[in-house]
Structure 1
Amino acid sequence: MSESCNSRHFSWLMKSCLPNPSDAKSLVPIHHPSTVANPSATAATIASLPDDLLLECLSRIPSSSIPSLAAVCRRWTRLLLSPYFLHLRRGLGLLRHSLFAISAVDSGIFAADLQFQPEIVTWRVNLAVSSSSVCADGSQGSLSHARAAAIGPRVYVVSRNAVLRYDSWMGTLTLRSPMLFPRKKFAIAVISGKIYVAGGGGGSEVTAAVEEYDPEKNRWEVVTQAARKRYGCIGAAVDGVFYVIGGLKIGNETSRASAAHVYASSMDLFDVKSRQWLRSRSVPGGGCVVAACAAVGHVYVLSSHAVELSFWRFDGRRGGGGAFGEWKRLKSPPLPAQVRLDGTVRFSCVGVEDKVAVVQVVGCIDDLLRRSGRSERGLRESLVLLYDTVDGEWRRAADLPEMITRAACACVEW
């Protein structure tokens, strides 16, 4: 990709800036002293605009054209991936969100996104890489328990020994620096354009290190030590706070039922800016947290109670409204009767847009049916339920595509 713009790639954009021959008003000459003294000043193109003005122009482009713009030149790609571009589109009401899922199977790496439009909710498979094309650490299987975090249109798939960056505009995968501490079943969240991970580990060792990843520098560093070592925990972020939720204590305390319960139904709060841990909070209901996400200033928590699920909302807004820390129980997700709450089913929550919290239900239904001796047609391995945070109602969305199994999920902005 060239550093400078190539006119062939954006001639259509330039044409929109040229006078319309059929419009008489656009052909009226404008006499200005500067143009008379310097005729070459009228030959300026969009490529000569400073970055801030060029961003103002690019931010108004329809969403469907953005992937093409990213292929024009390195400068345009850099501007489109900047936080200011997303800020401008958000202010114009043009920023779009989609649920992104990526999984690694024997045949390769597959990804799909679910876009929400009026009356239309469909999955689109937009990546299929053969197992021989991408080899992160010598094994595709290392991504089977990966976590995903998105920064704008880029999705970072973080596994125990490798990190892959997927560009949802260009459809490309890039290998990035791995975490300093190899870990699995950890918490992950994005705050101010950086990725934070905590908890998890390998074997019987759980690390207390909380790591921060800077995508611009492609570098991980330890920013603090966790208040408690959690394995199998879940991450979320609201208002600059990294929430490390649920999980188990691996060590001497695991033999004590009370200690295990405290870890499974509580969350630790890390203030990223002050680098301080806030007071830990308990999740009401006494269940085991199985999924969590952040949306519209709240943390949504899904808890399992062996035979049923409960759904909770924690107010994470710290703007002085006085509601910070309040819990509210919400309507539980309506799971199909075939789905049982056991080890064959796992859940994932993702916040999408400012009004919808998305709960993705991922399970090994085939294993469940084989163990129970049942055989039912039409029972899919994975289903998706959507919760509207405005009207408080659930509805079922399109099931995950068949090739997407045990997916890592995130919300992509574009």
Structure 2
Amino acid sequence: MSESCNSRHFSWLMKSCLPNPSDAKSLVPIHHHANPPATVTPISSLPDDLLLECLSRVPSSSIPSLTAVCRRWSRLLLSPYFLHLRRRLGLLRHSLFAISAVDSGLFAAVLQPQSEIPSWRVSLAVCNDGGQGSLSHARAAAIGPRVYVVSRNAVLRYDSWTGTVAVRSPMIFPRKKFAIAVVSGKIYVAGGGGGSEVTAAVEEYDPERNRWEVVTHAARKRYGCIGAAVDGVFYVIGGLKIGNETSVTSRGTAAHVYASSMDLFDVRSRQWLRSRSVPGGGCVVAACAAVGHVYVLSSHAVELSFWRFDARRGGGGGFGEWTRLKSPPLPAQVRLDGTVRFSCVGVEDKVAVVQVVGCIDDLLRRSGRSERGLRESLVLLYDTVDGEWRRAADLPEMITRAACACVEW
């Protein structure tokens, strides 16, 4: 067959579909005037609700560029309704974030427990506003994709979508070693203090107004306590009593009772519920909320115990019940003393729960010097469904004195 191509190689049908170069009429475009051209409506002219419906469907990787389009888009992307839409569409992923402060900003490390081999991804977020203060005893709480790093005299907001840091209003009462949790899109803090002064004030932070206010006072002043929230209840767990007691015996008894108990504050009714105690005593060193329960890690000087408190108030009859779970398998090199700090974060992914991958992330990090080849930090994952522990990747070396939270992004 000849490699040349000319009109003789085409069938008469194909030739009839091609315009004839010698026929000028065949080159004139045909205009249909029956239907006028449709008017193009720019997306910017849409009302806010329709624009949010469109923006909520973009991939997470495109969100940083959307915030730079205009102030209106940036404002809409910060709204709680935008998170609600993405959550409803199943576009939010739950991840564990570890935040560590440096002179220029924050190191942020993210871990996705749903992965077969969880590994950390690290990024540096530069704080352009300055004024970050001391974050050595900071706590972290997340609302959607934004992590609020709260310390004694400063509050930073880290946006996991854009990787930016902004300075927010500090707490009314400067405090460290306090309890923190998120209830209905607002941050609550209790306990803690500075030096020998421990405050009883419970503060609420509204991220939309960037404002703190005192909502109640706790009956017990706890120092070194831990916070969690389930079903509209703010749990203030563990810690020590710092105050004047008449005898050494009474001080020791009060400290023990505080260290193994938790107070319950109903945010909606602004009422304190009956306090509960962790079975077996011990000192609560970490706690978190996940899948309708509060998980508590207690230290007994030579061993750890792991407990689950049923915090569901939906009328199932199980509210208030304690269950002892399998203790975390710590390496032999880890000593249970003041050099080790424990942090517990619940990562609740709806898909992961369905796929039997619902996890409690227990970040066990060593703040002192490593010994016998043990890294400075390690991460253990507890599966709330099958009740088994597994080890994940250690925290990156640049993440020191980390504040941890579960982030939707």
TM surpasses 0.5? yes
CA RMSD of aligned residues (A): 11.0
Cα distance change on mapping 1:136 and 1:223 into 2, 3 Å: farther
The answer to whether the 8 A contact 1:149-1:190 is kept is: yes
The answer to whether the 8 A contact 1:185-1:200 is kept is: yes
Query: 2-side partners of 1:162 and 1:266: how far apart?
Result: 29
SS at match of 2:38: helix
Q: CA deviation at 1:367?
A: 22
Question: Residues 193-213 of structure 1, C-alpha deviation per residue, up to 9 Å, x if partnerless?
Answer: 111000000010100000011
Larger-gyration structure (1/2): 2
Q: Which moved more, 1:235-244 or 1:247-256?
A: 247-256
Q: Which moved more, 1:291-300 or 1:12-21?
A: 12-21
Cα distance change on mapping 1:274 and 1:371 into 2, 3 Å: closer
Query: 2-side partners of 1:220 and 1:67: how far apart?
Result: 28
1:252 pairs, out of 244, 255, 262, with: 244
Q: Which moved more, 1:181-190 or 1:161-170?
A: 161-170
Question: Residues 83-121 of structure 1, C-alpha deviation per residue, up to 9 Å, x if partnerless?
Answer: 222222222222111111111246763221112343241
Query: 1-side partners of 2:66 and 2:112: how far apart?
Result: 20
Question: Residues 170-223 of structure 1, C-alpha deviation per residue, up to 9 Å, x if partnerless?
Answer: 222111111110100000011111110000000101000000111111111100
Q: CA deviation at 1:231?
A: 0.3
SS at match of 1:262: helix
Q: CA deviation at 1:316?
A: 1.0
Cα distance change on mapping 1:225 and 1:360 into 2, 3 Å: farther
The answer to whether the 8 A contact 1:386-1:395 is kept is: yes
Q: CA deviation at 1:377?
A: 5.4
Q: CA deviation at 1:82?
A: 2.1
The answer to whether the 8 A contact 1:199-1:207 is kept is: yes
Q: Which moved more, 1:73-82 or 1:380-389?
A: 73-82
Q: CA deviation at 1:64?
A: 2.8
Query: 1-side partners of 2:84 and 2:340: how far apart?
Result: 38
Cα distance change on mapping 1:359 and 1:409 into 2, 3 Å: farther
Match of 2:235 in 1: 243
Q: Which runs of 5+ in 1 are unaligned?
A: 129-133
Q: Which moved more, 1:14-23 or 1:269-278?
A: 14-23
Query: 1-side partners of 2:7 and 2:195: how far apart?
Result: 55
Question: Residues 241-299 of structure 1, C-alpha deviation per residue, up to 9 Å, x if partnerless?
Answer: 00000000001248532211110000000001110000000111111000111111111
Question: Residues 352-410 of structure 1, C-alpha deviation per residue, up to 9 Å, x if partnerless?
Answer: 12479999999999999999999855421111111111111111111111010110111
SS at match of 2:149: strand
Q: Which moved more, 1:21-30 or 1:58-67?
A: 21-30
1:271 pairs, out of 239, 254, 266, with: 266
Query: 1-side partners of 2:266 and 2:4: how far apart?
Result: 41
Match of 2:23 in 1: 23
Cα distance change on mapping 1:351 and 1:367 into 2, 3 Å: closer
Q: Which moved more, 1:12-21 or 1:322-331?
A: 12-21
Cα distance change on mapping 1:17 and 1:300 into 2, 3 Å: farther
SS at match of 1:358: helix
Q: CA deviation at 1:31?
A: 16
Q: CA deviation at 1:324?
A: 1.1
Q: CA deviation at 1:348?
A: 0.5
The answer to whether the 8 A contact 2:341-2:364 is kept is: no
Query: 2-side partners of 1:84 and 1:205: how far apart?
Result: 40
Q: CA deviation at 1:75?
A: 2.2
Match of 2:201 in 1: 209
Query: 1-side partners of 2:23 and 2:266: how far apart?
Result: 58
SS at match of 2:171: coil
The answer to whether the 8 A contact 1:348-1:360 is kept is: no
Q: Tell me, yes or no, if structure 1 residue 319 matches structure 2 residue 314.
A: yes
Q: Which moved more, 1:53-62 or 1:5-14?
A: 5-14
Q: Which moved more, 1:307-316 or 1:51-60?
A: 51-60
Cα distance change on mapping 1:373 and 1:208 into 2, 3 Å: closer
Q: CA deviation at 1:79?
A: 2.2
Query: 2-side partners of 1:241 and 1:395: how far apart?
Result: 30
Q: Which moved more, 1:13-22 or 1:371-380?
A: 13-22
Q: CA deviation at 1:55?
A: 2.0
Q: Which moved more, 1:109-118 or 1:211-220?
A: 109-118
The answer to whether the 8 A contact 1:346-1:362 is kept is: no
Cα distance change on mapping 1:118 and 1:202 into 2, 3 Å: closer
Q: Which moved more, 1:19-28 or 1:371-380?
A: 19-28
Query: 1-side partners of 2:69 and 2:47: how far apart?
Result: 16
SS at match of 1:173: strand
Cα distance change on mapping 1:215 and 1:139 into 2, 3 Å: closer
Query: 1-side partners of 2:17 and 2:73: how far apart?
Result: 18
Cα distance change on mapping 1:114 and 1:162 into 2, 3 Å: same
Corresponding residue pairs, total: 405
Q: Which moved more, 1:356-365 or 1:309-318?
A: 356-365
Q: CA deviation at 1:41?
A: 6.2
1:48-67 to 2 correspondence within 5 Å?
48-67=45-64
Cα distance change on mapping 1:48 and 1:186 into 2, 3 Å: same
The answer to whether the 8 A contact 2:144-2:407 is kept is: yes
Q: Tell me, yes or no, if structure 1 residue 199 matches structure 2 residue 191.
A: yes
Match of 1:302 in 2: 297
The answer to whether the 8 A contact 1:383-1:398 is kept is: yes
Q: Which runs of 5+ in 2 are unaligned?
A: none
The answer to whether the 8 A contact 1:102-1:409 is kept is: yes
Cα distance change on mapping 1:60 and 1:184 into 2, 3 Å: same
Cα distance change on mapping 1:296 and 1:10 into 2, 3 Å: farther
The answer to whether the 8 A contact 1:310-1:332 is kept is: yes
Cα distance change on mapping 1:136 and 1:207 into 2, 3 Å: farther
Query: 2-side partners of 1:116 and 1:11: how far apart?
Result: 62
The answer to whether the 8 A contact 2:202-2:215 is kept is: yes
